[in-house]
Structure 1
Amino acid sequence: MRRIDALGFALGIFVAGGLAYALLQLIGLDDQKAGMWSQVLLVSGLLGWLVTYLVRAVGQKMTYHQQREQYEEAFLEKRLAELSPEELAKIQAEIEQERQSQL
């Protein structure tokens, strides 16, 4: 997320809080109750977002992790395609030797 996006998002949250406050006053709540309920809505939204963020971070479903995995996969596929058949056979033989030594 770019800095300007984060600023726009914060401004949007601020405006949403003001609109919730105004809407609750229009419904008929007094100033204090409208302020309290608009804060409850904003804090609930923040906590909900925080939970989804933590789930994505712990599960490594973030965009950065996905992009890194795709890059590493493409890099290894390219390196594998560049190997000559002799080099590939040599690497496969080394892998088999390591497997045998681990057993």
Structure 2
Amino acid sequence: MRRIDAIAISLGVFVAAGLVYFILQIVGLDGINAGIWTQTLLVIGLVGWSLTYFLRVGNKKMTYNQQLKDYEEAVMQKRLEEMSPEELEKLQQEIEQQKEA
């Protein structure tokens, strides 16, 4: 995530919280209760975001892990493409031997 993206998201959350506060006041809550409910919604949102983060970490769905996996697959594909037909046949025989064992 770029720095400008983080700033935009933070600004968006700040503006959304302000809108929720004013909407709650229009609905009929006084300033204190509107503020409490706005903060409650922000905390719930923060906890929810944190849970999704920990879920991605636990499932290894982070950007770095995906990039590393893609890189390893690309390296293996390039190695396979550079192998001669004899080397490919030898590798295939080794794989079949391991499957049998």
Q: TM-score, normalised by structure 2?
A: 0.83
Quick one: percent identity of the two aligned structures? 59
Match of 2:65 in 1: 65
Match of 1:51 in 2: 51
CA-based RMSD of the aligned residues comes to 2.0
Match of 1:33 in 2: 33
Q: Number of residues paired by the alignment?
A: 99
Unaligned runs of 5+ in 1: none
Q: TM-score, normalised by structure 1?
A: 0.82
Q: Distance in 2 between matches of 1:95 and 1:19?
A: 62
Secondary structure of 2:8's partner? helix
Shift of 1:82: 0.2
| Worse overlay, 57-66 or 5-14 | 57-66
Unaligned runs of 5+ in 2: none
After TM superposition, the runs of 4+ consecutive aligned structure 1 residues lying more than 6 A away are 92-97
